[in-house]
Copies of this chain bind each other. A is one copy, B any other.
Amino acid sequence: MKDSENIPAMMQELGQRAKAAAAELGFAPAAQRQQALEAAADAVWANRAEIIAANAKDLEFGRGKGLSDAMMDRLMLDEARIQGIVDGLRNVAGQDDPVGEVLAEWDRPSGLNIRRVRTPLGVIGVIYESRPNVTADAGALCLKSGNAVILRGGSESFHSSGMIHSCLVEGLKAAGLPEAAIQLVPTRDRAAVQELLTMTDYVDVIVPRGGKGLVGLVQREARVPVFAHLEGIVHIYVDKAADPQKALYVVLNAKTRRTGICGAAECLLIHREIAEGLGADLIRALVEAGVEVHAGAGLQLDGTLAATDADWGKEFLDSIIAAKVVEDVDGAIAHIRAYSSSHTDCVLTEDDAVADRFFERLDSAILMRNASTQFADGGEFGMGAEIGIATGKMHARGPVGAAQLTSFKYLVVGDGTTRP
């Protein structure tokens, strides 16, 4: 552990080391990075007892702090969860290597051959909250994409993250890569976050992964570019041309499969003409499934609560859904434009014109038709692991996997070619 009295100096040193490591990683062979991740997976499994012991300290700290059961559950590691971390590391290790991929190649009349080739971004700062497995996930994705990373975990997972990080460093050493390729901020002091957000000389991009409070702080304070990860205020519009059976399956799955993930549905918009028919059926099915429905006018059936203005644009992350009648697809679009977080929004309809309009006139990172919004996930998109779902429009958008953590450069080859 470093001297945490002088946070800015400590963070500058982390930054310098990260930048130097990034320069080496920029041309480290794919096989070497893969080897490091596999060795890290081995180390995590070999050290599972130590990780669980470190986690016990974190759980004790959490209990002392009075964390909620949900928070305590996120924090907890057991052998099964450690197996999950190991699998995650091996999964990322086995993915196609993005660095050096030729994204495009063309010849010019001038005689030049031009290639656009994928390169790492440089140094990535990842700031996250309680779940200690993010240490492994984020570290692995950054290394896979040839980036150096500075990880800043939640204070609750301090010891667990520290042990997992040690295992990642073991992997780096085993593969002969610089240890500073994956660094963990060695203090709980919040001043370190402030510093990380403004180290424009050393950090190329910040990825915040956590709740609204964290993301808001990062967006307000950062001088380094941020891959915005807003909350998932996910809407489903049930059109009058929706297939009732599909609608029932999709709505229930989108809300109830897992309520705590960012792709969970939070608001149901129902076409006026079907409010009393399919709309009522959906509300009843949700109530039966134990969901608390905050229903607007025309949908207030038995077992529902009356919706208030505070329900629109709210991410419940719980077994709660808001429901509202809208005039038609344009009414749904207007509501979504006003309240969506540009994460994922969905239309249920058999009418192609309605779906086209929904797809054209909305600009969420992910737009869906007749599919559960719980599919909003890098793994389900086929990208392998993800570091989160970006809701901004700069650089990365939607699920952020290894490829989205890269940039590119142009390689231009002539033969003594001059410009007239």
Contact = CB atoms under 8 A, between A and B. Distances in A.
B371 A398 contact: no
Contacts of A366: 409-410, 412
A106 B382 contact: yes
A393 B359 contact: no
Interface stretch (A50-58, A177-185, A243-251): A243-251
B108 A409 contact: no
- Kindly state the interface size class of chain A when it binds its partner: 35 or more
Given A370-B414, A417-B371, A418-B250, A409 B27 contact: no
15 contacts: A27-B361, A119-B363, A122-B393, A366-B409, A366-B410, A367-B411, A367-B412, A369-B411, A370-B415, A371-B414, A371-B415, A372-B417, A375-B417, A375-B419, A381-B410
A301 interface: no
Interface string A380-420: 11100000000001110110000000011111111111110
A411 B371 CA distance: 11
A306 interface: no
A368 interface: yes
A413 B369 contact: yes
A85 interface: no
A407 B392 CA distance: 9
Contact of A398 (B246, B375, B409): B409
A364 interface: yes
Interface string A25-45: 011000000000000000000
Contacts of A204: 393-394
A361 B114 CA distance: 18
B416 A250 contact: yes
A303 interface: no
Contacts of A254: 418
Q: Which 5 A-B pairs have the closest CB atoms?
A: A246-B416, A371-B414, A253-B418, A393-B407, A374-B419
